[in-house]
């Protein structure tokens, strides 16, 4: 069920959320302001402003717009993300990704065409979770 | 399991996920996890058996199988199913409270002129589990 385990199309299929009850799904016409936490996976296609702290996979699928502080085990982006991002294992930016701010991930893959403005740190975490480093860079 | 309404997509707050803040949009929402804050939807809200919602809610229809606490507006219908628990202040165009459900608080009918407050009679004092 790993998002990274299979070659997914650029836009994550929202229907995946239906078959996996641990995967939360926020559709394109949904806006969330606040904090999202938990141990499951999350696919976001709408707007999210605030904080995401997930012990699972976070998929930011176009046309999603995220602004805030993000922590997850793996992060896959084909939408727009601004702010501080920490992935314990891996971050993947698709062609349509527009990302800015600080990114912290021990493994990083970027598809040709992705936009990234910011700072990258590639630290190997001791416990699997990269400690967040707050940054005001936007 | 989510009620697919004519308005399209149904978002899902899954069981291991907690949302604190405001959720708004033109979708339906299915909650199996926890939501605390505000929910404003043009579509329907479905709270599954494991769902726990403490929020001010404005939605078209609301179906409760889990637990909901707060001030709730259902522009169409509020339905509390046998496993559901509601505690708070509800305004709805119509109500369906199944046997075994818990409804504690105030109910008002949407559109009624007097909108007289009346304490809702609990369908059953104890929950069926």
Kindly report, residue by residue over A50-92, the tens digit of the pLDDT: 999 999 999 999 999 999 999 999 999 999 999 999 999 999 9
Question: Residue B129: exposed, middle, or buried by beta-carbon count in 10 A (0-12, 13-18, 19+)?
Answer: exposed
Interface mutation target, options A15, A20, A27, A69, chain B, most CBs of B under 10 Å: A27
In a domain, B115, yes or no: no
In Å, how far is A112's CA from the nearest CA of chain B? 31
Cβ–Cβ contact B48 with A under 8 A: no
What's the CA gap between A33 and A66, in Å, rounded? 10
- pLDDT level of residue A132 (50, 70, 90 thresholds): low
In Å, how far is B17's CA from the nearest CA of chain A? 4
Cβ–Cβ contact A13 with B under 8 A: no
What's the CA gap between B72 and A27, in Å, rounded? 23
In a domain, B4, yes or no: no
* Residue A42 confidence (pLDDT): 97
Contacting residues of A for B37, CB less than 8 Å apart: 34
If residue A16 lies in a helix (H) or strand (E), which one and from where to where? helix A16-19
Contacting residues of A for B25, CB less than 8 Å apart: 27, 29-31, 46
Query: Are B19 and A28 within 8 A, CB to CB?
Result: no
Of B18, B25, B32, the CB nearest to A21: B32
Query: Are A37 and B14 within 8 A, CB to CB?
Result: no
Cβ–Cβ contact A131 with B under 8 A: no
The predicted model scores a pTM of: 0.81
Contacting residues of A for B19, CB less than 8 Å apart: 32, 34-36
Cβ–Cβ contact B33 with A under 8 A: yes
* Residue A136 confidence (pLDDT): 46
Cβ–Cβ contact B125 with A under 8 A: no
Segment A29-51, tens digit of pLDDT: 999 999 999 999 999 999 999 99
Cβ–Cβ contact A34 with B under 8 A: yes
Q: Walk along chain B (129 residues) and give the pLDDT tens digit of each residue.
A: 344 444 579 999 999 999 999 999 999 999 999 999 999 999 999 999 999 999 999 999 999 999 999 999 999 999 999 999 999 999 999 999 999 999 999 999 988 654 444 444 444 444 443
Q: Tell me which residue of A32, A30, A133 sits closest to A83, measured CA to CA.
A: A133
Q: How many domains does chain B have?
A: 1
Cβ–Cβ contact A58 with B under 8 A: no
What range does the domain containing B21 cover? 10-100
* Residue B113 confidence (pLDDT): 55
Cβ–Cβ contact A63 with B under 8 A: no
Cβ–Cβ contact A21 with B under 8 A: yes
């Amino acid at each position: 069920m790993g998002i990274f385990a299979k070659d997914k199309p650029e836009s994550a299929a929202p229907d995946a959320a239906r078959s996996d009850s641990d995967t939360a799904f926020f559709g394109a016409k949904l806006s969330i302001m606040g904090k999202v936490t938990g141990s499951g996976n999350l696919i976001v296609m709408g707007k999210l402003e605030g904080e995401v702290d997930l012990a699972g996979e976070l998929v930011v699928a176009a046309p999603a717009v995220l602004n805030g502080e993000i922590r997850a085990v793996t992060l896959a982006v084909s939408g727009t993300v601004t702010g501080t991002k920490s992935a314990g294992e891996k971050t993947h930016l698709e062609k349509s990704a527009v990302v800015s701010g600080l990114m912290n991930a021990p493994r990083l893959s970027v598809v040709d065409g992705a936009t990234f403005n910011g700072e990258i740190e590639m630290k190997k975490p001791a416990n699997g979770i990269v400690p967040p480093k707050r940054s005001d860079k936007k | 399991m989510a009620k697919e309404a004519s308005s399209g997509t149904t978002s899902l707050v899954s069981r291991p996920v907690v949302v604190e803040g405001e959720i708004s949009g033109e979708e339906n929402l299915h909650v199996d996890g926890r939501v605390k804050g505000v929910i404003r939807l043009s579509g329907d809200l479905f709270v599954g058996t494991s769902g726990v919602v403490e929020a001010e809610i404005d939605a078209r229809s609301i179906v409760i199988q889990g637990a909901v606490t707060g001030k709730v507006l259902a522009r169409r219908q509020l339905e509390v199913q046998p496993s559901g628990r509601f505690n708070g202040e509800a305004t709805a165009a119509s109500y369906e409270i199944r046997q075994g459900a818990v409804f504690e608080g105030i109910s008002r009918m949407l559109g009624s002129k007097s909108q007289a407050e009346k304490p809702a009679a609990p369908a059953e004092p104890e929950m069926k589990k």
